[in-house]
Amino acid sequence: MKHSILSLAVICVASSTAVSANDKMPTLYGQVSGNVTSFSDTDFRGDEADTTPTIEKAILGLKGVYPLAEGVLTAYRLEADFAPLAEGDGSKSIYANSLTTDDDIFVRYAGAALITKYGLFAFGDAMSGVYEEFYAPVDIFEVNTQDSTPTGGTLGSRMWTQTKWSKDGLVYKTPVWNNFYAKYVIASIDNNDGTEDDLQILHGVYKTENFMFGVNLSVYDKDLHGPSSGIDDRERWVIASHYKFGNWKVAGVYEANKNVGPLPGAGADFDVYALTTTYTQDKFRYALSYQDREEPSSGLLKKDTAVIGQLKYTHDEHVDFWIEAGDYSESDNDNIAVGFNVKY
């Protein structure tokens, strides 16, 4: 814990100093989220769950952008979740399995970017953007969500294998041309396998104010322990699109996994697809999602289908309340939950 807090303080001070020197102040922000969830049998970890109130997120972040030279900007973001610390043993935090016994906080973002007319160059954690650009419009829920852990385990609903939080990576994003851009990521996520390109990501996205279509390919090196089989490189293909018209928004994602090795929470070749529809009227948003995973040939993940619904009331830009339910055809994770989000 001491190491984590020290690192947090050093980065915050360094960032604040740099911004002050350029007469640009950083933005401090945060979020507190709590809920009460009742599962029909076990939670997503396979544990018996009670209905006691839970602080699921306690986020504190710092971000900023400042100019280095004409046409060159530097952006940075550091964000940590203190919910594991607030919950004592961290068992109720959605990031519990990503922490060691010495960690009390989960670092969600820690990265910086150089923005030029030739594109964006970035380094850090949670910088790949695959989840945010391809999955987030579908995965809009609070309890029945993929926002759970940077591992491939079964923490969270985990209908697909794409995680939200990536590890160290180098990113290049092209300038936007006629609403289209491409991105390339190379990351070393396991220093023990002797390679520097454990994971490579390439995707192209066409995006307007109301429409998005994108294709992504993620390739894990065959020698990477766990994610690959050791025989062939593991591949994950993703196609996603969303469209907004009036008060309606429809979003879909299709994921195809090839040559998957013995991940704790994944099997061999299998496909997953999901479709989420939302309707917003005044301060209310109604959401319904259908998600389906075919039977993997091996591993812990099994065939499953989920129907998820949510009603959210947004009081203002700082506070919202919600009620959510998830029904699963194969697993024993049916649930109903109520909760809130406070943002500042």
For the chain, which domains are there? 2-343 (2.40.160.10)
Length of the chain as a residue count: 344
C-alpha pair distances (Å), 139 with each of 60, 157, 302: 22, 10, 20
Q: pLDDT tens digits, residue range 165-179?
A: 666 678 999 999 999
Scan for tokens 């220093």, then name that residue: 191
**pTM of this prediction?**
0.83
Q: Token pair of 195, please?
A: 């390679």
Most confident of 79-83, 143-147, 158-162: 79-83
Report the chain's terminal Cα–Cα distance, integer Å: 25
The amino acid present at 128, given as its one-letter code, is S
**pLDDT band of 100, cuts 50, 70, 90:** low
**Which carries the bigger pLDDT value, residue 161 or residue 272?**
272
Average pLDDT of the chain, as a whole number: 80
Strands of 139-233 (E only): list them.
169-173, 180-187, 199-207, 211-220
pLDDT at 249 > cutoff 90: yes
Instruction: Give one DSSP letter per residue of 59-111, joined into a string.
Output: EEEEEEEEEEETTEEEEEEEEEE-HHHHTSSSTTSTTGGG--TT---EEEEEE
Q: Are 335 and 326 in contact (CB under 8 A)?
A: yes
Q: At a CB cut-off of 8 Å and minimum separation 6, what does 271 contact?
A: 254, 255, 256, 257, 293, 294
d(CA 115, CA 180): 17
Output Rg (C-alpha) for the chain, integer angstroms. 20
Residue 186 to residue 92: CA distance in whole angstroms: 33
Percent of the chain surpassing pLDDT 70: 72
> What are 51-96's pLDDT values in tens digits?
888 888 889 999 999 899 888 999 999 998 887 776 655 455 666 5
Write out the two tokens for 65. Answer: 């952008």
Q: What is the pLDDT of residue 18?
A: 42
Taking the C-alpha atoms of residue 166 and residue 185, their distance in angstroms, rounded to an integer, is: 11
